[in-house]
């Protein structure tokens, strides 16, 4: 399982890049979901989101799940490619599988990679 | 990720009806028209009619072959968790086909359908007695439609008191998956309540959400872990104290028949699944039926019409049954009177069993589930391991192998068992949700348990046998991912008809 050091993490298994506010679901999350077959981004560029509000709906062959905003802020970009290539959430969760970009967020309540890894291992 | 070697090519090939078609073959001969031919405009006429051409016998054999690919309760053990796939007694089919029921129409004058109305009235009364509710409607088409009916009634109740700030439906994470969907359709905000380590509703989490914006709580009890909530009275009290109502998802009522009446513990509204608890067919065998029962304070909101007694019986005459509209009814939920054929079947089932028989149904359903759980729990981890009700949830994960719940489910098909529900509830990793029902004997339960134990052994010794399962079915392992990603739902289009030749 991959936990990049430069990212911050939520208890609901999202990551956010402190440098540019890019958000996605973690390697652990995509592994739990198994093959993702459908992704719908529920917010639009310009929307203001609250930390914990739904930003994306993700369906796999096993289950349907929601992805939540790790921080409050303004949505400045969404990954429109995911509608056609939902499998990138599995193949590249920290890269091409990003979901949205949120600006202006306060990251102080989030976990670092070590804390998130421990949190995942406790649930295994 | 495990790489599956997909082997979904058909082992027994049944062509499509279009492939079986041969020009000029026919199953029916139309008589010569005995009225003058209409002169239709040219633009409405077509020169071709690309339908398959087959004789009657070819059509019958084609669909017989396809039907033999099917799996049914009449064909084998069907432990599909939370679906209560019990055997459906054939006497139900006899009564539902009595000409007095089949040759009637809901728009006939009341006086000519008194038998049907008497049956519906009696079933309403029996369901009230079984559940402890004050009033029952038979209209809803199935379980989730019953939930929708219940959620509309709950909303109407608060609106009638001008309490418009209530927008929140609390739903435990061990509830049936339809509960949030039904509340969502009504426009309510869904708040998920986590389970505690014993599989009960987490009381602290519930308390934190109980405020004056709560419409109610939708409680599945026994829940989807097959566990009876040990604090159900406390859960009901907390919701009532904040002004909310408690909806009972009655899909698991099979475990409680004759033992506990949901109305007696303060549940305000509940749906029944006649197609689970009361043995009417489901899963492609027939429509469902989801009557809803309510406590006294909600009776005025039930859908209309209910079946009532318009004129009481006299010394000479039986009562006159007819239709009643509750004072603040939410309106109609279904054309006419619901799925009447299922109402006749459920009536028959209750009549055949009687009060003592209904209690035995619950006792044997719970006994069978606990027996099976006891036989497999040392092989498959049961994460919420305590006395279960009518079903239990095991983890489809074998220590020291990469086998998943899906592989185990597919392998079970090789032994002519229907797989259990898998990957639900979501709170159990690799969930296998097993509900044997009361209609299975000990031999079947033993055979199933021994098969599960054998599969666990295969997972360690010959994992590919599981990765590639099933091996004995008409089709092998399907590519579920591709089927979900590439939504090509039609393999034959009329404009391509010429390419068939």
CATH of the domain at A29: 2.40.50.100
The answer to whether the beta carbons of residues B294 and B153 sit under 8 Å apart is yes
Beta partners for B168? B189, B214
Our CA-based measurement puts residue A1 at a distance from the nearest CA of chain B, in whole angstroms, of: 11
- Residue A30's H or E segment, with its range, is helix A27-33
Tell me which residue in A31, A34, A37 faces B485 most closely, judged by beta carbons. Answer: A37
Q: For residue B463, what pLDDT is reported? A: 96
- Report yes or no on A2 lying in a domain: no
3-state secondary structure of B329: coil
Do the Cβ atoms of A38 and B480 come within 8 Å?
A: no
pLDDT at A35 over 50: yes
The answer to whether the beta carbons of residues A2 and A76 sit under 8 Å apart is no
The b/e string for B12-41 (b: 16+ C-beta within 10 A; e otherwise) is eebeebeebbeeeeeeeeeeeeeeeeeeee
Do the Cβ atoms of B1 and A90 come within 8 Å?
A: yes
- Report yes or no on A64 lying in a domain: yes
- Taking every pair of Cα atoms in chain A, the longest distance, rounded to a whole number of angstroms, is 37
For chain B, the 3-state helix, strand and coil shares in percent, each to the nearest 5, are: 40, 10, 50
Question: Would you state the structure tokens that stand for residue B22, as one six-digit string?
Answer: 């041969």
- Report yes or no on A97 lying in a domain: yes
A111 vs A7, A75, B44, B372, CA distance in Å? 9, 21, 68, 42
Q: Which of A5-14, A99-108, B4-13, B273-282 has the lowest mean pLDDT?
A: B4-13
CA B362 to chain centre: 18
Residue A86 at interface with chain B, using a CB cutoff of 8 Å: yes
What total number of domains does chain A contain?
1
Q: How confident is the model at residue A62 (pLDDT cuts 50, 70, 90)?
A: confident
Residue B485 at interface with chain A, using a CB cutoff of 8 Å: yes
Distance, CA of B293 to CA of B273 (rounded, Å):
11
Q: What is the DSSP string of B394-426?
A: EE---TTS---HHHHHHHHHTTT-PPPEES-ST
Our CA-based measurement puts residue B420 at a distance from the nearest CA of chain A, in whole angstroms, of: 14
pLDDT at A87 over 70: yes
CB within 8 Å of A105: residues ≥ 6 apart: A16, A21, A51, A70, A71, A72, A73
Do the Cβ atoms of A90 and B484 come within 8 Å?
A: no
Q: For residue B501, what pLDDT is reported? A: 41
CB within 8 Å of B243: residues ≥ 6 apart: B163, B166, B212, B214
Residue among B290, B283, B285, B275 at smallest CA distance from B345: B275
CA B143 to chain centre: 6
Residues of B with CB below 8 A from A90's CB?
1
Q: For residue A51, what pLDDT is reported? A: 95
Tell me which residue range forms the domain holding A95. Answer: 8-123
Q: Taking residues A75-93, what's their average pLDDT?
A: 95
Tell me which residue in A31, A37, A63 faces B481 most closely, judged by beta carbons. Answer: A37
Distance, CA of B173 to CA of B493 (rounded, Å):
43
The answer to whether the beta carbons of residues B146 and B292 sit under 8 Å apart is yes
- Report yes or no on A1 lying in a domain: no
Q: For residue B474, what pLDDT is reported? A: 86
Residue among B117, B127, B121 at smallest CA distance from B293: B127
A84 vs A22, A27, A59, A79, A94, CA distance in Å? 20, 20, 13, 11, 18
**Which one of A50, A59, A60, A61 makes the best mutation probe of the B interface by having the most chain B beta carbons within 10 Å?**
A61
Q: For residue B486, what pLDDT is reported? A: 79
Q: Taking residues A59-65, what's their average pLDDT?
A: 89
Question: Would you state the structure tokens that stand for residue B130, as one six-digit string?
Answer: 């079984």
- Residue A27's H or E segment, with its range, is helix A27-33
Q: Taking residues A71-93, what's their average pLDDT?
A: 95
The b/e string for B49-88 (b: 16+ C-beta within 10 A; e otherwise) is eeebbbeeebeeebeeeeeeeeeebeeebbbbbbbbbbeb
Q: For residue B179, what pLDDT is reported? A: 96
Residues of A with CB below 8 A from B481's CB?
35, 37, 61
pLDDT in tens, chain B (501 residues): 344 445 566 677 788 899 999 998 988 888 999 999 888 999 999 888 888 999 999 999 999 999 888 899 999 999 999 999 999 999 999 999 999 999 999 999 999 999 999 999 999 999 999 999 999 999 999 999 999 999 999 999 999 999 999 999 999 999 999 999 999 999 999 999 999 999 999 999 999 999 999 999 999 999 999 999 999 999 999 999 999 999 999 999 999 999 999 999 999 999 999 999 999 998 766 799 999 999 999 999 999 999 999 999 999 999 999 999 999 999 999 999 999 999 999 999 999 999 999 999 999 999 999 999 999 999 999 999 999 999 999 999 998 899 999 999 999 999 999 999 999 998 898 999 999 999 999 999 999 999 999 999 999 999 999 999 999 988 889 888 888 887 777 655 656 555 544
Phi/psi for B215 (5° steps) reads -70, -45
Beta partners for A40? A57
B324 vs A107, B308, B317, B336, CA distance in Å? 60, 6, 21, 13
- Report yes or no on A46 lying in a domain: yes
Do the Cβ atoms of A61 and B426 come within 8 Å?
A: no
Structural domains present in chain B: 91-352 (3.40.640.10), 396-485 (3.90.1150.10)
Q: For residue B94, what pLDDT is reported? A: 97
Q: For residue B282, what pLDDT is reported? A: 86
- Report yes or no on A53 lying in a domain: yes
Residue among B54, B51, B50, B49 at smallest CA distance from B27: B54
B82 vs A4, B368, B391, CA distance in Å? 40, 14, 7
Cis check for the bond before B93: say yes or no (omega within 30 of 0): no
């Amino acid at each position: 399982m991959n936990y990049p050091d430069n990212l911050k993490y939520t208890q609901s298994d999202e990551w956010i890049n402190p440098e540019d506010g890019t958000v996605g679901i973690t390697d652990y999350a995509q592994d739990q979901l198994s093959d993702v077959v459908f992704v719908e981004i529920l917010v639009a560029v310009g929307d203001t989101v609250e930390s914990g509000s739904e930003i994306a709906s993700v369906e796999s062959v096993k289950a349907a799940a929601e992805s939540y905003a790790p921080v409050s802020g303004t949505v400045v970009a969404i990954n429109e490619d995911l509608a056609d290539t939902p499998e990138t959430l599995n193949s590249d969760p920290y890269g091409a599988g990003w979901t949205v970009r949120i600006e202006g967020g306060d990251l102080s309540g989030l976990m670092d990679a070590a804390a998130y890894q421990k949190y995942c291992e406790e649930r295994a | 990720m495990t790489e599956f070697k997909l082997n979904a090519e058909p082992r027994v090939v049944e062509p499509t009806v279009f492939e079986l078609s041969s020009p000029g073959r026919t199953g029916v001969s139309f008589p010569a028209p005995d009225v003058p031919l209409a002169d239709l405009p040219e633009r409405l006429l077509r020169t071709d009619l690309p339908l398959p051409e087959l004789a009657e016998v070819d059509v019958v054999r084609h669909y017989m072959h396809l039907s033999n690919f099917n799996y049914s309760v009449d064909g084998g053990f069907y432990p599909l968790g939370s679906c209560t796939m019990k055997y459906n007694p054939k006497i139900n089919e006899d009564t539902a086909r009595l000409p007095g029921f089949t040759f009637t129409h809901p728009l006939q004058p009341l006086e000519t359908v008194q038998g049907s109305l008497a049956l519906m009235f009696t079933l309403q009364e029996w369901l009230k007695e079984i559940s402890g509710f004050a009033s029952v409607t038979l209209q809803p088409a199935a379980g989730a439609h019953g939930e929708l009916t219940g959620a509309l009634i709950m909303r109407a109740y608060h609106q009638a008191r001008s309490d418009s700030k209530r927008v929140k439906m609390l739903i435990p994470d061990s509830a049936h998956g339809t509960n949030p969907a039904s509340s969502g359709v009504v426009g309510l905000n869904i708040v998920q309540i986590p389970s505690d380590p014993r599989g009960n509703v987490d009381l602290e989490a519930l308390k934190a959400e109980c405020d004056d914006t709560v419409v109610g709580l939708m409680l599945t009890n026994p829940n989807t872990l097959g566990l009876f909530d040990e604090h159900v009275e406390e859960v009901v009290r907390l919701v009532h104290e904040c002004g909310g109502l408690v909806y009972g998802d009655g899909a698991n009522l099979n475990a409680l028949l004759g033992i506990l009446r949901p109305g007696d513990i303060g549940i305000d509204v509940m749906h029944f699944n006649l197609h689970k608890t009361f043995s009417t067919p489901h899963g492609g065998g027939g429509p469902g039926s989801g009557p809803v029962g309510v406590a006294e304070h909600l009776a005025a909101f039930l859908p209309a019409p209910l079946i009532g007694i318009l004129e009481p019986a006299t010394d000479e005459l039986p009562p006159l049954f007819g239709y009643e509209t509750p004072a603040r009814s939410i309106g109609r939920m279904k054309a006419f009177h619901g799925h009447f054929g299922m109402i006749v079947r459920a009536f028959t089932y209750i009549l055949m069993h009687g009060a003592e028989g209904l209690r035995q149904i619950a006792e044997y359903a719970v006994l069978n589930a606990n027996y099976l759980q006891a036989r497999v729990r040392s092989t498959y981890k049961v994460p919420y391991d305590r006395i279960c009700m009518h079903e239990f949830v095991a983890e489809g994960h074998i220590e020291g192998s990469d086998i998943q719940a899906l592989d185990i489910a597919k392998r079970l098909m090789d032994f002519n068992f229907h797989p259990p529900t898998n990957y639900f509830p979501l709170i159990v990793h690799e969930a296998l949700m097993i509900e044997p029902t009361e209609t299975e004997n000990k031999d079947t339960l033993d055979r199933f348990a021994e098969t599960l134990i054998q599969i666990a052994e295969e997972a360690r010794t010959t994992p590919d046998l599981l990765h590639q399962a099933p091996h004995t079915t008409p089709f092998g392992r399907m590519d579920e991912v591709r089927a979900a990603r590439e939504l090509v739902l039609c393999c034959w289009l009329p404009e391509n008809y010429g390419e068939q030749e």
